[in-house]
Structure 1
Amino acid sequence: MDQIIKTFAIGLVALIILAPLGLLAVGETFGEWGPEEVKEKLGFVPHGLEQLSSLWSAPMPDYALPGKGESMSAAAMTYILSAVIGVIVCGGLLYFVGKRVAKD
C-alpha cells in the first residue's frame, strides 16, 4: 500500500510541476469562459449562465495574483500555486469523506 501511495504522490507532484505547460497553449482554455466569451462564441448568453455568473468570483482570475506582473515566471508560479491548492482541496475532501464513510 505504501508503494502505491508513493507512486501516486510522485505522479501528482509531476503533474503539478508540468501545470505551467498550459501557458504554451494558444487562445483561452476550453470551458473556462465567462459570459463575455460565451457571447462572443455563441452570439448570446444563456439565461441560466447570465443569472448565475454573478454568484461566483474566482479567487485567482486568469491565474494571476493581484499586484503581480504578467511575466511568464509569475504566471508559471500562479499555475503551480493553483495546482497545489486544487490538490489540497480535493485531497482534503476525499480524506474527510473517506473517514466519514469508514466510520459508518
Structure 2
Amino acid sequence: MKKILSAFIVLVVLTPLGLLAPGSAWGEWGLDEIKEKVGFIPQGMKHFSEVIKNILPDYGIPGFDKNFYQSALGYILSAVVGIAVIALIFWLIAKLIPETKEKAA
C-alpha cells in the first residue's frame, strides 16, 4: 500500500509538467479545436458540453490562474480530486461485491 501511495504522490507532484507543453494535450481538445481539426462539431460533443460542466475547467481553479504557480496548484488539486474520485469508486465497488471464501481441498 505504501508503494502505491508513493506512486500517486509522485504522479500528483509531476502533474504540472503538462503546463510546460505548448497547446493542449492530445485528445483533450475543446469544441473550437475539434471544429478546426475535423471541420465540424459532432452533435454529441456539442450536446454534452452544454449539459456537463467541468468541476475544475482546464485543470485549474477559476480566477486562480494568474501565474504558473497558481496554475500548477490547480493541476495538483485536479489530480488529487481525480485520484480521490477513482479511489472512492473502487472502494464502493469492493464494498458491494461480497467476499467469497475459498474452501481448502
TM-score (norm 2): 0.86
Q: Which has the higher contact order (CA 8 A, sep 6+)?
A: 1
**Amino acid in structure 2 at the alignment position of 1:27:** G
**Aligned pairs, how many?**
100
- The residue number in structure 1 matching 2:19 is 23
Matched, 1:60 2:56: yes
Which ranges in structure 2 are unaligned for 5 or more consecutive residues?
101-105
**CA–CA separation in structure 2 for the residues paired with 1:52 and 1:67:** 24
More helix by share: 1
Note the aligned Cα RMSD (angstroms): 1.5
- Which residue in 1 is equivalent to 2:103? none
Q: Secondary structure at the match of 1:102?
A: coil
Q: How much does 1:11 deviate?
A: 0.6
What 5-or-longer segments of structure 1 have no aligned partner? Answer: none
Match of 2:76 among 77, 80, 94: 80
| Moved segments of 4+, more than 4 Å | none
Q: Which has the larger radius of gyration?
A: 2
Give the drift of 1:38. Answer: 0.5
